[in-house]
Chains A and B, each alone.
Chain A
């Protein structure tokens, strides 16, 4: 349903052009959960903000193609994009503490979105808000609709944000690290909730995270991003059991094992991600890669297969 082809996002800055997303391509099928992993600054959030049409920086240049159910989103009229956003494609944000407008009740904010997209009465929209709050397991929803964001805990606010995203039954849900800002116990509850909602609503979800543990729990297929590019693509099982790209392997190595002897120190990846202002030629991961060889000074391409990695060790 979502086809992204050669999507690039470049920001003009005083120091020069910063290519935050570089020729990224991926697909999302109906009802599928695609996980996107990568370090901070790997371009995962920016590429999905581009899908949402939420890059408002006048210095950003977006090229490539984003097709949603056959409609091209790149260069779409703002009015048409607005009609799609919040109704068919909804988004859940990382920090629930600041994602809600502080001066309105949560019921008002949910109803606002429903009223923006559907021709129903205010009372009906309000009732929808109550039903949605019940669906995301907020206790006593009749009362809770009258609460203001500051009166709720972080976990509760994230439920409200999720309820809001679901309010128009979107076909595609983009979740940008929805559990990162929460306690571990609350994280588990939110993941359970997303599982349940996915079954009930049948929405496809693109889930961004840097937490491999979260990925292992929910994803169907995964993308691994590094320095603005997709370096590996595959089903969750393949990716966890037979990672192809050295970066993916390094990411998995940095997770403490559940069974067996625990290592004294976790294996961190040496070095830092490259500066996107002057990206080195060739494979961006090469300077940190323990398996690099002569070929790595050229640019590796990502194969077309279901499982593919942009690495000469794989294709060679």
Chain B
């Protein structure tokens, strides 16, 4: 168990190294393009171009360039954006990470809890009207695009019904630091959390119900019945427990992608300066250093989330441990 755990972490580091190399090559070694010109931005003066060349070591061999870049991102953290005139990239990205993490973590808690409830209740009452209504609600949740739902939420809570008793607690859009104002942090995020999680609640609830219903067909469920266990125990301890693998797989992928910037639409709608929003703005300005840093950050998160999922697998399924 410990050995396979260490092995998994080693693999993760290796993949991260590969990704950094690949990202570097895509941005700096694409034939026919001058990376210095791209970093300097449109209409840059020759002096700026020269400064970029020097600062990134473009007159030196490729591996030195790679090491310089990695040093700038991970060690000294002094990667500068020339498009945004001397903006330090690493602190800028670091500032956005807590916003995105707050958004995604909160939404993830909501969606896991509610998806578990919906999946279990629907599987327990399979075929009844409760099951049908829950699955229909899930489908509606999946069908609503997050930008539309977000705007509707804003319309309701910020303007139309803001002054009624129901939504008067909702603060204006924006993000408040948890350390400065925990209550404000929580209140500003409640509506974004709900908005982001609804899609996933529907999706995960449906997936979990299908997985439970499938494992209820297994032979070991008949054995559990023959043992004289209660239906609740059979459902929770035997059917649900063996269904969690599908749930966790999906969760790892979605969580990693969201933290890596896929929460962009939610961030834009609710005016949250997160990683997705930062990448989006950088793309509009063609700000190469920022794009590169956020791409690296995003891929690292996906890789880490996958490693966590694999470790969870080991805990959930003994067959994976020895393999």
Contact = CB atoms under 8 A, between A and B. Distances in A.
Interface in A176-230: none
A91 B226 contact: yes
A95 B220 CA distance: 10
B183 interface: no
Contacts of A78: 231
Contacts of A52: 226
Interface stretch (A81-89, A248-256, A268-276): A81-89
Given A54-B225, A86-B228, A112-B229, A150 B219 contact: no
Contact of A85 (B227, B238, B316, B317): B227
Contact of B227 (A56, A98, A116): A116
Given A98-B219, A101-B220, A101-B238, A54 B318 contact: no
Interface in B198-243: 218-220, 222-231, 233, 237-238, 241-242
B322 interface: yes
B319 interface: yes
A161 interface: yes
Interface string A90-125: 110101001111110100000011001100000000
Given A98-B218, A103-B318, A161 B241 contact: no
Nearest to B219: A98
Contacts of B219: 93, 95, 98-99
A52 B127 CA distance: 24
Nearest to B321: A148
Contacts of A103: 241-242, 316-318
Contacts of A148: 318-319
A164 interface: yes
Interface in B221-278: 222-231, 233, 237-238, 241-242
B242 A164 contact: no
A83 B226 contact: no
A178 B127 CA distance: 33
A84 B228 contact: yes
Contacts of B237: 112
Contact of A86 (B226, B231, B316, B319): B226
Given A101-B238, A103-B317, A113 B220 contact: no
B127 to A, nearest CB: 8
Given A102-B318, A102-B319, A116 B229 contact: yes
A203 to B, nearest CB: 15
A116 B223 contact: no
Interface in A270-300: none
A93 B222 CA distance: 9
| Residue among A54, A78, A102 with most chain B CB within 10 A | A102
Interface in A131-163: 148, 150-151, 161
A84 B228 CA distance: 7
24 contacts: A52-B226, A54-B226, A56-B225, A58-B127, A85-B226, A85-B228, A86-B227, A86-B228, A98-B220, A100-B220, A101-B242, A102-B242, A102-B318, A103-B241, A103-B242, A105-B318, A112-B227, A112-B229, A113-B229, A116-B230, A117-B228, A148-B318, A161-B223, A164-B227
Interface of B: 127, 218-220, 222-231, 233, 237-238, 241-242, 316-319, 322
> Which 3 pairs from chain A and chain B are nearest by CB?
A86-B228, A98-B219, A85-B228
